Structures are given as C-alpha cells and as structure tokens.
C-alpha cells in the first residue's frame, strides 16, 4: 500500500513501535474493536475541543485517538488476525472520525466568519470521503486504487502538525494553513485515484 508523502520507513517504524503495545493489550483481553471504538470517541472529543478553540487539549486527545487507527490493526494482528466484521466496523468508524476532524475547522470558520477556512474545511470533508470511496468502488470491480499523493495517514499527520503549531504558537493561522494543505492533498488524491481507476477500466475494456 502506498503511504504517499509519508516515508515508508516511518510507516514501518510506527507499526513496529506499536507491536509491543498491541501484544500487551491482547494480553489483558482488549479487542481490536474496542480499540477502534475508543479511538473514535477520543477523536470526536478532540475535534470538539478544537472547535471550541482549545488546541493544546485537543492535540493531546487527538494524538491518542488517531493512534487508535493504527493500533487497532496491530491488535488484530497480535490476536491472530482480524475479522470481516471488524474490518467493516473500522472502515465505518474511520469515516465518522474523518467527518469529526473536518467539522472542527468547519465550525471554527463559520463561527469566526472566515470564508477561506470554512471553504477549506468543506473541501477536506468531501475529499476525506471521496478518497476511500473511490478505493472501495475499485475493489468491488477487482481493481486496486491504494494510490495517490496523500492517503489517510498522511493527511491526518499534516492536520495534527497544524494543531500542534497552533497549540505551541498560539496562532490559529498555522492550523488554517494545515487544513488548506490537507484539503488540497485530499482533492488531488481523489483525482489521482479516479484517473487510475478509469485508466484501468479502459484498458480492461469495461
């Protein structure tokens, strides 16, 4: 799977670092589904804090919550492999998490009368749904579409960097810039995946 702007070495190191935590969670009876649900709850809570203008508290909660997106897979592997039901739950709750993350700047932009931030958050919201939708549609057609400049983990990383910059500098503008960059990357990735799938279908004569 392509990690886009995230170096493969960094992605591999993250998975390796989470393996001991995953084994410990499995050892005390924590399931992958429980980690998935906990991650969603924390991500929604962190997004609410962000929309309320509390970037430092939001950063702490979001770092833990978004970690669940990777940790649940590690827990599934440590427990002998995930289930189809778990995959459906994970994919569905990921969409809710994406909506929560995009909604935070959407609320901020609306509350502060910032049309640029509002528009960027709206593009991010739509793009966050289009990227996985195109991949899922391609897989139904027996095609692979895990391509593009910025898959989900890359977009979340950039978003969190923006939250951290706001928390450390006190400047909300740094977060707005991260939202705009993430929105642009989501849009570009959507187009890349659509072109990839359309090209593959044309070659197949479908």
Does position 44 have pLDDT exceeding 70, yes or no? yes
pLDDT of residue 30: 87
pLDDT of residue 206: 66
The DSSP 8-state label assigned to residue 65 in this structure reads H
CB burial string 141-158: b at 16+ within 10 A, e below? eeeebebbbbbbbbbbbb
d(C-alpha 83, C-alpha 31), whole Å: 11
Catalytic residues: 94
Q: Are 102 and 70 in contact (CB under 8 A)?
A: no
d(C-alpha 62, C-alpha 68), whole Å: 10
pLDDT of residue 3: 45
Question: Which of 45-54, 66-75, 130-139, 180-189 comes out lowest in average pLDDT?
Answer: 66-75
Delimit the domains of the chain by residue range. 8-204
H/E segment holding residue 28? none
* 182 token code pair: 């993430």
CATH of domain 8-204: 1.20.120.1760
**pLDDT tens digit sequence for 55-89:** 999 999 999 998 887 888 888 888 877 788 988 99
Does position 5 have pLDDT exceeding 80, yes or no? no
**pLDDT tens digit sequence for 153-179:** 999 999 999 999 999 999 999 999 999
pLDDT of residue 19: 79
Does position 10 have pLDDT exceeding 80, yes or no? no
**Residue 4 pLDDT class (50, 70, 90 cuts):** low
**Residue 15 pLDDT class (50, 70, 90 cuts):** low
d(C-alpha 74, C-alpha 26), whole Å: 10
Does position 180 have pLDDT exceeding 90, yes or no? yes
* 2 token code pair: 């392509």
State percent of the chain over pLDDT 90.
Answer: 69
* 64 token code pair: 């833990």
Average pLDDT, the chain: 89
């Amino acid at each position: 799977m392509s990690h886009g702007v995230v170096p493969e070495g960094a992605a591999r190191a993250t998975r390796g670092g989470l393996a001991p935590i995953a084994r410990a969670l499995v050892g005390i009876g924590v399931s992958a589904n429980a980690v998935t649900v906990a991650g969603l709850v924390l991500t929604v809570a962190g997004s609410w804090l962000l929309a309320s203008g509390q970037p430092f508290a939001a950063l702490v909660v979001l770092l833990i919550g978004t970690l669940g997106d990777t940790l649940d897979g590690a827990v599934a592997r440590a427990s002998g492999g995930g289930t189809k039901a778990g995959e459906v739950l994970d994919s569905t709750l990921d969409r809710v998490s994406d909506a929560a993350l995009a909604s935070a700047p959407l609320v901020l932009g609306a509350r502060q009368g910032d049309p640029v931030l509002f528009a960027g958050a709206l593009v991010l919201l739509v793009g966050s749904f289009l990227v996985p939708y195109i991949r899922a549609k391609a897989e139904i057609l027996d095609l692979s579409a895990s391509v593009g400049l910025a898959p989900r983990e890359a977009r979340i990383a950039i978003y969190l960097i923006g939250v951290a910059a706001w928390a450390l500098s006190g400047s909300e503008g740094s977060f707005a810039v991260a939202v705009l960059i993430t929105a642009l990357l989501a849009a570009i990735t959507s187009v890349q995946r659509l072109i990839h799938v359309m090209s593959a279908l044309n070659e197949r004569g479908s």
